[in-house]
Structure 1
Amino acid sequence: MRNPNWSEEELILAFNLYCKIPFGKIHKNNPQIIRLAELIGRTPSAVGLKLSNLASFDPQLQARGIKGMKNAGKKDRMIFEKFQNDREGLIYQSEKILAEREGLSLENKYEAELPEANSLVGETKERYVKTRVNQNFFRQMILTNYHSKCAVTGIDLPQLLIASHILPWAQNKAERLNPENGICLSALYDKAFDQHLISFDEDYRLILSTNLKEHCTKTYYQTHFGKLEGQEMILPDKWLPKREFLEWHREELLQI
C-alpha cells in the first residue's frame, strides 16, 4: 500500500505543478495532474487533493478570499515559506527532481533553452543552467497565471507572449522569481512597459507616459495605446501584481 505521507520530493513536485496550472483546473481529470500522479505513483485524486491543500496556504488566494481544502498539513504551509525565502533554490530543485523522474537530465530536457551550455564548464555552466531553467519556469508560471493571454489585449499566441518583470531581473535578485513581479504581455506592450512608456495604476488600469502621449497624432498611438488608456488589465488567476512593485514602476514612468 502506498505510504499516505508525502515525501519531501513528492511535495516539491506537487508545488512545482501548483505553480503551472490555474487554480480552477485543479481536478483529477487534468492531464498534467494525471501525468504527475504517474511519475510519483499516486492517484490523480490524491495529487488533486494535495494541490488543493497547497492552495489553502497561498497568501494571494487567502487575500482574495479564495480558499482551498481545509485541514491541510504543516508541510504544505512550509513549502510556501520555503518559496518565499528561497525561490531560486526551490524552483531549480523542483525542476531537477522532475527531470530525474522523467528519466532526463536538465540539459537534455531544456536543450533548446540552453544554447551555450556545451561551451561552458564547472560553476559557470551550473549558474547558467540554473538561471535559464528558472527563467523558463517563471515564464510558465506567469503565462499560466494569465491564462496565456496578454494582460492588455488578450492576445493568446504563445509565440508573442512574454513574462514581463515589474522590478527588473538584473536589479532585484530577491524578487526575480516572485509571481507577483510578473505580468504576461505581448511583445509590443512588454517593450513599452520595460521602457516605462506604459504602466498600471493602483486599480490595475493602463496609464500612458507623457513621452508616449507626445505621439498622440500618430495612427499607431490611437490604435495601440490611446484607445486602451484607463482600461483594466485582464486580471490573473492567482497572483496579482504587487501594488508596491507597480508603484515603483509608475514612479520610473513619471521621471521619463
Structure 2
Amino acid sequence: MNYWWVNHKQTFRQEFSGKYVWCPKLKSNGQQSHYYESMREVQPGDLLFSYAYAAVQGFGFARTHCYSCPKPDDFGKVGDVWNTRGWRVDVEFQAFSNPLRTADYASEIAPLLPNKYSPIRADGFGNQVAYFAMVPEAMAMKVAELADPMLAMGLTSVGERENLIEIALPSLQEWEDRQQQIIAARNELPLTTREALIQSRIGQGLFKQRVGRFERACRITKVDNPTHLIASHIKPWRESDDEERLSAGNGLLLTPSIDHLFDRGFISFADDGELIASPIADKASLKQMGVATDEVIHVGQFNTDQKHFLDYHRKEILLKSAS
C-alpha cells in the first residue's frame, strides 16, 4: 500500500465529487512532469489525501490503476491550456468533518515530509508546482491522526490493507461509445467502412483480417487458432484515427487475457521484441496468465509500422515508475 497526496487547486469540486483524479500527461510546454508521471504508479487500495483551499479536505482509496483518458467534460473551461488527454485514477473520496489546515500543524508534519517532490512546504502550505505526489507512511499516519483518529486507527489495525479489486472503467466505456456513435453518424463514409471501423473496436472484421496476414499467433501464449485470438490495437482504438484503427501495422493477435494486460498497460514490448512487464502489475497474476517475470522473454521481431505504434504504447499506455 502506498500513500499519495493530490493538490486539486481549481479542480477540487469536480474531482472530489466525481470521485477521481485527473491530470494532463504533459505540462503546457510539452515537457513531462514528475507530479503527472507519478499517477502511473497508483494501485487499487492505495490511500490518497485530498488537499484544497489550504487544507486536507478528505481522503479516499484508489479503486483503479491509472489509465489514459480525455480531460473530463465537467472541467469546463478550467485547464484550457492543458492537453486534452491525460491520466486518470478513480477514487472513493470521503470528506473529513473538519478539514485539516496543515499550516496549523506544520511543526508536527514538516519533519515527516518527503525529501524530494513534497506536495506541501515546511510551513504547511501547498507546493504550487505539485499536483500529485507520494508521501511517506509516517507522514500519512500523522495527517490521518490529526484529521480523523478513526482513520488512523483503521490504517494501523489493518496494516497491509487487503487489495481492492479494480472496478469497471465507465469513463473508458463512455469514451469508446461516444467515438462509435460519431462513426455511425458519419454518412459521408460508406456503410462498409463505418462497419469495419466499429468492428475493429472489438478486434474483429477487416482489421483482424489485415493483422492476420502477417501475425499468425499470440506473441506470448503462441495460441494460433484465430477463433481464440483478438486483433489488439497497439495504439488503442479509442485514441486512434480512422486510418490507424484499420492499419495492420497497429495490430497484434493476442489471446483475451494478454489483450487485457496489453490494453491496460501492464505489459508492453521493446522494439527488439523484449517483453516489458510493468512494475505496477501483480507478478503472480502475470505468471498465472502465461507471462513469466523471472526471465527475459523475446516475442520476435516487429515491422516498422508496429515499432511506430509501440513507441506510442510505451509512452502513453504502459504503467511505469516516475523515478
TM-score scaled by length of structure 2: 0.35
Give 1 or 2 for the bigger CA radius of gyration.
2
The structure with the largest strand share of the pair is 2
TM-score, with structure 1 as normaliser? 0.43
**Larger fraction in helix:** 1
